[in-house]
Chain A
Amino acid sequence: QVQLVQSGAEVKKPGASVKVSCKVSGYTLPELSMHWVRQAPGKGLEWMGGFDPENGETIYTQKFQGRVTMTDDTSTDTAYMELSSLRSEDTAVYYCATSPKFMVRGELATGFDNWGQGTLVTVSS
């Protein structure tokens, strides 16, 4: 069973960067496709990006292009999401979520069957 444990809440000033971690246990990172989803207060879920095994690369939504970087440390099975140039609208809970590596989209897709507990990032001056 996959378990995802995220780093703790963060408070940042506008213009700063934040780096959220997601520690995987039960499986190894190379066996999974890692994704990041955020949820602003009182709002819906927003997929930010994740690993696309069909392309063999990490895909970011256009909204976050140039501001977000998602990386993996396979030596510790920990994934990271760094968001830069923070603004107040980035205040949200950030979740990591996984699917089995080759079951991300298309006929084999099984959805995000494991989620971290969420990390609240507050951007305030």
Chain B
Amino acid sequence: DIQLTQSPSFLSASVGGRVTITCRASQGINTYLAWYQQKPGKAPKLLIYAASSLQTGVPSRFSGSGSGTEFTLTISGLQPEDFATYYCQQLSGVFLTFGGGTKVDIK
């Protein structure tokens, strides 16, 4: 199975700030990666697919990049509603694994 390692697992940031989350795959997955946002008590929400394609309706302050084994999710100009946990998911192998998650908290 393809393993995904996210870092950091936790970070604090200020409103208006910029955040970068990394997701590393145990083997090359081309650009077959998605990012999700999850708020407490809610289902995850798809933000980005194909590593850098923004899902319809997602604000442009979210962006994704990377290919192969290293990927990043960047949030530019953090808004209060962005404080949440973020997960990456690989869409390459038969088994569609998730990363361990990164919690973004208010500084």
Contact = CB atoms under 8 A, between A and B. Distances in A.
Interface of A: 35, 37, 44-47, 50, 52, 55, 59, 61-62, 95, 97, 104-107, 109-113, 115-118
B97 A47 contact: yes
Interface in B28-43: 30, 32, 34, 36, 38, 43
A7 B89 CA distance: 25
A107 B91 CA distance: 9
Given A44-B87, A44-B100, A44-B101, A112 B34 contact: yes
Nearest to A106: B32
B98 A44 contact: yes
Interface of B: 1, 30, 32, 34, 36, 38, 43-46, 48-50, 55, 87, 89, 91-101
B96 A105 contact: yes
Contact of B87 (A45, A110, A117, A118): A45
Contact of B43 (A35, A52, A55, A117): A117
A52 B93 CA distance: 10
A111 B98 contact: no
Contacts, number: 77
Contacts of B46: 111-113
A35 B44 CA distance: 13
A46 B96 CA distance: 9
8 closest cross-chain pairs (CB), A and B = A111-B34, A109-B91, A115-B43, A111-B49, A45-B98, A44-B101, A105-B91, A111-B46
A105 B92 contact: yes
A107 B95 contact: no
A45 B101 contact: yes
A61 B92 CA distance: 15
Given A45-B98, A47-B98, A111-B49, A106 B43 contact: no
A111 B43 contact: no
30 contacts: A44-B100, A45-B89, A45-B98, A47-B97, A47-B98, A59-B94, A61-B1, A61-B95, A97-B43, A97-B44, A105-B93, A106-B91, A106-B92, A107-B30, A107-B50, A109-B32, A109-B91, A110-B49, A111-B36, A111-B48, A111-B89, A112-B44, A112-B46, A113-B46, A113-B49, A113-B55, A115-B44, A116-B43, A117-B43, A118-B43
